[in-house]
Amino acid sequence: MIKIAQLSCGTDYSAVQTEIEKAAEAVGAKMVYPDVDMEKINSAVERFGFNPVSPQLKLMIARAYSLAEKRYDADAVFISTCFRCAEAALVRTELRKFIQNNTKLPVVTYSFTERTKAGQLLTRMEALVTIVERKELLARERQVGLTMGIDSGSSTTKAMVLRDNKIIGKAWTPTADIFSSAETVVKEALEQAGYKLTDMEAIGTTGYGRFTLGKRYNAKLVQEELTTNSKGAVWLADRQKGEATIIDIGGMDNKAITVRDGIPDNFTMGGICAGASGRFMEMTAKRLRVEITELGALADKGDHTKVPMNSYCSIFGIQDLVTSLAAGSTIEDVAAAACHSVAEQIYEQQLQEIDVRLPVIQVGGTSLISGLVTAMEHTLGTRPIVPPNSQYIGAAGAALLSSGFLEGR
């Protein structure tokens, strides 16, 4: 059983402890609380250098030291505090850095409200467990045999067929109902590849619909999108050695994942507001009456500084956009501003939770919007690599990793 150390404040009193434990249990893990001696609490706070007023936060710090000094054994760390508590947010962020600098444990942070449910935590917990349990599988660099990956995302469904480490079929479609969308892309990818479904030696599923499709297609690998996508990204970008940061701006939530030799070691996943997601790009395109595929090129021609847009909310963001258009802004400038706004939020939210390591690989359907890649470049000060087939990372990762289940290969 994987032990996830919980460093937290407020979970019991926010009705979320049960949800945390449910999520952990669903992925075969259990939450544990690192033991600390009373005497060690003061000295831990002293050495840490931040002395919070709330005693529970002091205890969190002492528990982190317990892990760093190997006085308590755990496989992964979950740091969680109440949303909107400033003191806790400071401690949460600094403890995350402390754990990363002083242990090899994968860590994820989360700020909850009483509305937080197990489902929201599930992908994060599952990724923690995957990193711990499937290190060997995640180290796989080459695909073998004939395998297929299906990525059932919130916006689009993708399938990819690989044979002997080469792409031989791929397809995508907007997600309607999970089954018919998957059927469409599977059929098309198989046709391109020239194979039948029964020819597949292994199938992997990822994305929101992974469990449902995993059952339908009898998948050998059913894995969350954080680790699967990062694996697909380094494979597609041919960056399997060394370090990298993967940015995946998804339809509903965004992921930033750091990898070392192709194995993810930390990640952050955001998604409270759609203002920083692919969905906002779609809304912008719709309002500008252009295809989403044209939005990037338009944005590249525009100047984001000419349009004030600093909203964190997609609804208010669109309002800003409408106001600017009414005031006579060009659609190029507005498109550039929308891209810049998303990039800025990714930087301010996701990228503050991890330590960005170069190169940055930008993936997911939104990486095809060139204006968004340019906006990321301006924000980061470095041009992200966009690998070919960057929208297929999930499907590619699932196909690659599922081949790890083929015996003797």
Partner 1 sequence: MKVLIVPPNSLILFDLVERFGHEPLSVMAALQERIENREIESPPMNITVDVVKKGLKYAAIEIPSGIRGRLAIYGPLIDAAEAAVIMEDAPFMFGCVGCARTNEMMKLLIHKRKIPVIKLDYPNNEDEAKAMVAKLKAFLEGLKK
Partner 2 sequence: MIPENETRYIVLAPDSEFTPGQIARTIHAMNFDVIVKETCFGVVVMGKREEVRRLVTEIRKIDPNRIYTKVRGFPVGDPRRCRAHKGSRPGFAQLEKEWKDLVLIEKGLQCMDRGEPVPEIKKREKVPVKELQKICREG
Where do the H-state alpha helices sit in 269-369? 278-287, 292-301, 314-326, 331-348
List the x/- string, 157-176, binding to partner 2 by CB under 8 A.
Answer: --------------------
**Chain positions contacting partner 1, by CB under 8 A:** 9-18, 21, 38, 41, 52-59, 81-85, 87-88, 112-115
As measured in angstroms, the least distance from the Cβ of 34 to partner 2 is 6
As measured in angstroms, the least distance from the Cβ of 90 to partner 1 is 13
Nearest Cα residue to 127 out of 194, 235, 244, 29: 29
CA angle 76, 82, 87 (to 5 degrees): 95
The set of residues, in sequence order, having a beta carbon less than 8 Å from that of 86 and lying 6+ positions away, is none
As measured in angstroms, the least distance from the Cβ of 62 to partner 2 is 8
Give the footprint of partner 2 on residues 29-68 (CB under 8 A): 30-36, 38, 41, 56, 59
Of the two residues 3 and 216, which places its CB atom closer to partner 2 in the complex? Answer: 3
Give the footprint of partner 2 on residues 92-151 (CB under 8 A): none
Of the two residues 37 and 238, which places its CB atom closer to partner 1 in the complex? Answer: 37
Of the two residues 47 and 115, which places its CB atom closer to partner 1 in the complex? Answer: 115
Of the two residues 57 and 360, which places its CB atom closer to partner 2 in the complex? Answer: 57
The set of residues, in sequence order, having a beta carbon less than 8 Å from that of 352 and lying 6+ positions away, is 93
Please tell me the distance from the alpha carbon of residue 153 to that of residue 177, in angstroms, as a whole number. Answer: 11
User: Does residue 71 belong to the site contacting partner 2 (CB under 8 A)?
Assistant: no
Residue with tokens 């401690």: 91
Is residue 134 classed as helix, strand or coil in its secondary structure? coil
For 69, half-sphere exposure in the C-beta direction (CA atoms, 13 angstrom radius) is 13
Of the two residues 8 and 268, which places its CB atom closer to partner 2 in the complex? Answer: 8
Binding site partner of 72, from partner 2, partner 1, none, Cβ cut-off 5-8 A by kind: partner 2
Beta-bridge partners for 363: 248
Nearest Cα residue to 227 out of 163, 138, 140: 138
Of the two residues 37 and 294, which places its CB atom closer to partner 1 in the complex? Answer: 37
Binding site partner of 294, from partner 1, partner 2, none, Cβ cut-off 5-8 A by kind: none
As measured in angstroms, the least distance from the Cβ of 59 to partner 1 is 5
Give the footprint of partner 2 on residues 4-33 (CB under 8 A): 30-33
Please tell me the distance from the alpha carbon of residue 133 to that of residue 224, in angstroms, as a whole number. Answer: 13
Beta-bridge partners for 30: 3
Tokens standing for 112? 């909850």
Is residue 288 classed as helix, strand or coil in its secondary structure? coil
Binding site partner of 36, from partner 2, partner 1, none, Cβ cut-off 5-8 A by kind: partner 2
In the complex, the residues that contact partner 2 under the rule CB under 8 A are 30-36, 38, 41, 56, 59, 72
